[in-house]
Amino acid sequence: MARSRNIKQDVESLTAMIRRIIRENGRDYVKTYIFAAVCLMLVAASTAFMAWIMEAVINEAFAKKNADQIWLICGSVLAAFVIRGAASYGQAVALAEVGNNLVARYQQRLIDHLMTLGVGYFGDTRSAQIAAQISQNVAGIRDVMNLTITSFARDLLTLVALLVVMVTKDPVLSLIVFAGAPPVLMALRYISKRLRSATRESIDLNSRVLSAMQETVQGITIVKAFTMEKQISSRTAELIKAAEGRSNRIARLTERTSPLTETIAGLAISGVIAYAAFRSIYGDVLPGAFFSFITALLLAYDPARRLARLQINLERAVVNARMIYEILDETPTQGDRPGAVDLVVERGEIEFRNVGFGYGTGEIVLDDVSFKAEAGKTTAVVGPSGAGKSTLISLVPRFYDPAAGQVLIDGVDIATVTKTSLRQQIAYVSQQAWLFEGSIRANLRYARPDATDAEIEDAARLANAHEFILAQPQGYDTMLGENGVNLSGGQRQRISIARALVRNAPILLLDEATSALDNESEAAVQNALESAMRNRTVLVIAHRLSTIAKADRIVVMQGGKVVETGSHADLSANKGGLYARLQAFSEAGHGVDQPDPVLDADVKGGKA
């Protein structure tokens, strides 16, 4: 009983996924699918005609030697093959074009949907795994559609037409053939159930293999620097071996139908030949009907075999499709509120009001944080590692929403405005200067697509990037390697700052923009930052005192709380304060946010 219920649920799940795919796509391609179906019907009809006419070929041409009928028979056979060839070409091209368009459509749907998901989703899911999952599975949608139309419009119709020919030529022989169907169907149902789980495991493993390869290529400098080649090779070898094992299991399961169907087909055809031969020898029956029957039987074998394997092939395609829908069904966690309005920034004051936040792990990252970043001024946020600085700054563009409290810009709660209008008022420079495929000019124009070449070059000059850009082989049109690998760290960061200047937004967020640079590069980038910070509200997470000292206001954080605020001079004068100790730690050659044993001991002891 339980087994029967599980089989029913599996069939319902398979059917539900097929219905969803057809519902979402069938209407858009209905004309093309109708054309392909007509072509497939012609293929089925011409195939059945070839079996049907064999009786006339044998009896009229060879047994009765009727010369008048030969030309008509030959012309009919030629016409059938011409129609079959043209119809096969038409359906193949039509289905290929629809299939390619389906793949392109779902690739676009996926990228559009991924753009709606919050940063948290990408924090929980490895980017390489997402890319591998998409590249492997997106063709599953196409395969479901194509398998469905070809199976019903070609294979099923061909099989039915040939069965009609067989029954009309000899009902007794047809019964002999039909006796082999039940055991084949039972075996296929058993195989398809096992294949589903094996296919899912194989897809997961192959995604992990591609993910490992992509990460290795992206981090090749680290791999080389730490002589990780053997470790990476060994780890990847385990994944590859496991993926190979699953693929072999799928092959064994999939091809397990072949010996079964071949054996049953052999028994059926042997029985047919024995029965027909007996009637011809002892009953003096013309052989035309038998040859027509055996032709139909042999031609029916391929469509019957494909239909027998249909559930297996559909299972594999649906598993792929289902993994694509797992991404598409992921609900955006940060949609705009109903009635959200566009944000208009007049001054640019940022206020954190009793803000609390945690990442869902139960740990409190920000605890009742309150302060203002005054309009047109620079506010620096400093503190030891783990104080919550980066989390704090990520709340301003709504990469995450606070669990408690409010973030306000010019007195407006940013949760009540549209994310697009909010982010259009913000320029962001991260610690990692991420550059995209394309030219330097294209990377700068991403900040504001309508920016002119003159505006782009002016921004580059302010960011101290114009001269080194002109020194590149094609200047602003120089194509960048992956993430700007053909530029130095300082050059990439200055392009990132120039991109923020092209944005020309009233609010500038700097997330440790110089922490990864050497002293020479930092000096160039710092000059660029000073240009970028003029006449803007700036919220900066500082790693070194060079930026902190010039800030209009400094907010000192520890353990997710604000423990001190003031100017550089005031905070430095308080020798017992956290900022003064951070300053001393920095002057000893460390970054202000690096771990400090003394500070860590204070945190454990409950001191602020």
Res. 262: pLDDT tops 80: no
Q: Which of 66-75, 109-118, 280-289, 452-461 has the highest mean pLDDT?
A: 452-461
Res. 518: pLDDT tops 80: no
* 432-504 CATH: 3.40.50.300
**Both structure tokens of 322:** 């289902």
Average pLDDT of the residues of the chain: 78
Structure confidence at residue 606 as a pLDDT band (50, 70, 90): very low
Give the dihedral sign, CA 404/408/412/417: negative
Element (H, E) at 102: helix 67-116
Single-letter code of the amino acid located at 497: I
DSSP 45-71: HHHHHHHHTHHHIIIIIIIS--HHHHH
pLDDT for residue 595: 46
pLDDT for residue 353: 93
Residue that wins the pLDDT comparison between 338 and 220: 338
Superfamily of 2-328 according to CATH: ABC transporter type 1, transmembrane domain (1.20.1560.10)
pLDDT digit string (tens) for 165-217? 888 877 777 776 676 666 666 666 666 667 666 766 776 777 777 777 767 76
pLDDT digit string (tens) for 81-124? 899 889 889 888 888 888 888 888 888 888 888 887 777 777 66
pLDDT for residue 599: 41
Res. 470: pLDDT tops 80: yes
Res. 519: pLDDT tops 70: no
- Same CATH topology for 2-328 and 432-504? no
- Percent of the chain's residues with pLDDT above 90: 4
pTM of the predicted protein model: 0.67
CA distances from 196 to 190, 217, 402 (A): 11, 32, 42
pLDDT digit string (tens) for 544-562? 666 677 788 999 988 889 8
The number of residues in the chain equals: 608
Half-sphere exposure of 232 (CA within 13 A, CB side): 19
Structure confidence at residue 605 as a pLDDT band (50, 70, 90): very low
Res. 590: pLDDT tops 60: no
Q: Residue 608: name the closest of 544, 557, 569 by CA.
A: 557
Domain ranges of the chain: 2-328, 432-504
Could you count the other beta carbons within 10 Å of the beta carbon of residue 13?
A: 13
13-21, Cβ contacts within 8 angstroms, sequence gap of 24 or more: 14/311, 14/314, 14/315, 14/318, 17/144, 17/318, 17/321, 17/322, 17/325, 18/144, 18/148, 18/314, 18/318, 20/325, 21/141, 21/144, 21/145, 21/321
Res. 281: pLDDT tops 50: yes
- Percent of the chain's residues with pLDDT above 70: 74
Res. 501: pLDDT tops 80: yes
pLDDT for residue 294: 76
Res. 584: pLDDT tops 70: yes
Mean pLDDT of 333-358: 86
Q: Which of 102-116, 284-298, 525-539 has the highest mean pLDDT?
A: 102-116
DSSP one-letter code for 151: I
pLDDT digit string (tens) for 418-460? 888 898 898 888 877 788 878 889 889 888 888 899 999 988 8
pLDDT for residue 1: 43
pLDDT for residue 603: 38
Mean pLDDT of 503-511: 87
**Both structure tokens of 463:** 């960011």
Res. 4: pLDDT tops 60: no
Res. 360: pLDDT tops 70: no
pLDDT for residue 3: 44
Mean pLDDT of 356-362: 77
Residue that wins the pLDDT comparison between 128 and 336: 336
446, with CB counted inside 10 A (0-12, 13-18, 19+), is: middle
Contact of 382 with 511, CB cutoff 8 Å: no
Least confident segment among 373-377, 485-489, 601-605: 601-605
